[in-house]
Amino acid sequence: MKLLSTLILWIGISMTGHAAVILQYHHISNATPASTSLAPELFRAHMAYIEELGYDVIPLSELVAALNNGTEVPDNAVVITFDDGYADNYAPIVEELHSRNWPYTIFVPPQIIDDQVRGYLSWDQIRELAEHGAEISNHSQGHEHLAAKLDGETDDEWLSRVQANILSAEQRIEEQTGQSHRILAYPYGEFAPEILSMLADLDFAAVGQHSGAVDHFSNVQALPRFPFGGAYGGMSGFRTKVRTKAMPVTEFQLSSNGERLPSHILTHDQSWPSLTLLLDHEGPVKASSLNCFASGLGAQEVEALDDYTLVTSPEGYLSVGRSRYNCTAPTGERGRFFWYSVPIIRLDEGDQWPPEF
Ligand SMILES: [Zn+2]
């Protein structure tokens, strides 16, 4: 496996500040765990707001094709995605999306659908939705933590296992629906640099759950999405997020104690990583206009090294598990921001995957 290439973090090139935003939903229900659920009435309000804005709702495959082909990324475009294939998605999808003729993606873990686990769509339902504009895509076989190595596993064994998982899930989805988009949603939004390289070799695109808009800067194997559920589903947040523009970041780098880190998966000791962002010199954003936030720590100090380089250093420990740095900058349009997010995973005291994951 190409371990050296994993040292290069995600980099891209862009021309303009476009705004294609990918929305991520899990449950649409009042009866499921709050953190991954959005009330049906809020989902209806989200869809009505998109209609009111007049934005184009486009298929994820169309956005990925634009990125892969280097053609212009659609502006003021929205992609709607649902993770896991929950049965409670069925009625809101029919009522809100089919009625408007809007495309959308459902990311399914085929092993869980095959096992007919209670609370999930059946293959019959999935095929029916597919006939009405649903793209059915890959969410791993059984919703595994793909970035976590098993005990005693070598890097090669781990990556072979992950590759087999993704390819067999893709094959099962094709058998059941006739569709194969080669687009993965990382379970829990977790990935590793080695998995990005592997997916690029396999000609797969992938989406995470770090936030931000998509443009040619975005890495096709680590596309951002805005998750909506729990505390993050309300209308004021939705209005801001659906209108964000892609921050023109050409490269990011994490470092700890002055040393560049090879990955966003941190050992336990790398608890205060600083983040360096390089902004596109042709782009509309200056380093001094950014505000950055770290999960659990709030607003962080930002130092502009020059017009296009900035460093933000957290003023406290990141907690063990999943965190994010989010940076925003004003666009000049009221209530509209450039947005960029870096996902971080900090391992537990034995540098193991946290057990509660
Ligand atoms: Zn999921």
Q: Categorize the per-residue pLDDT at 219 as very low, low, confident or very high, splitting at 50, 70 and 90.
A: very high
Extended strands (E) in 249-336: 249-256, 259-260, 265-266, 274-279, 291-294, 298-306, 309-313, 321-330
For ligand 1, the distance from its centroid to the CA atom of residue 107, given in whole angstroms, is: 8
Q: Categorize the per-residue pLDDT at 74 as very low, low, confident or very high, splitting at 50, 70 and 90.
A: confident
- 3 assigned to some structural domain: no
For ligand 1, the distance from its centroid to the CA atom of residue 267, given in whole angstroms, is: 25
For ligand 1, the distance from its centroid to the CA atom of residue 83, given in whole angstroms, is: 5
For ligand 1, the distance from its centroid to the CA atom of residue 287, given in whole angstroms, is: 34
Query: Is residue 128 exposed (0-12), middle (13-18) or buried (19+ Cβ within 10 Å)?
Result: middle
Average pLDDT over residues 84-110: 98
Instruction: Please tell me the pTM assigned to this model.
Output: 0.93
Nearest to 22 by CA among 49, 59, 53: 59
Per the structure, the complete domain to which residue 38 belongs is given by: 14-243
For ligand 1, the distance from its centroid to the CA atom of residue 312, given in whole angstroms, is: 30
Q: 192 φ, ψ to 5°?
A: -130, 155
Q: Same structural domain for residues 286 and 197?
A: no
Using the predicted structure, report yes or no on whether residue 10 has a pLDDT greater than 50.
no
Q: Give percent of the chain with pLDDT exceeding 90.
A: 83
For ligand 1, the distance from its centroid to the CA atom of residue 132, given in whole angstroms, is: 22
Query: pLDDT by residue (tens digit) across 310-346?
Result: 999 887 889 999 999 999 999 999 889 999 999 999 9
Domain CATH for 267: 2.60.40
For ligand 1, the distance from its centroid to the CA atom of residue 84, given in whole angstroms, is: 5
For ligand 1, the distance from its centroid to the CA atom of residue 143, given in whole angstroms, is: 6
- 9 assigned to some structural domain: no
- 53 assigned to some structural domain: yes
Q: Same structural domain for residues 151 and 285?
A: no
* Residue 351, amino acid: D
d(CA 139, CA 339): 25
For ligand 1, the distance from its centroid to the CA atom of residue 148, given in whole angstroms, is: 16
Query: pLDDT by residue (tens digit) across 231-284?
Result: 888 999 999 999 999 999 999 999 998 899 999 999 999 988 999 999 999 999
Domain CATH for 102: 3.20.20.370
Number of structural domains in the chain? 2
* Residue 47, amino acid: M
- 214 assigned to some structural domain: yes
- 352 assigned to some structural domain: no
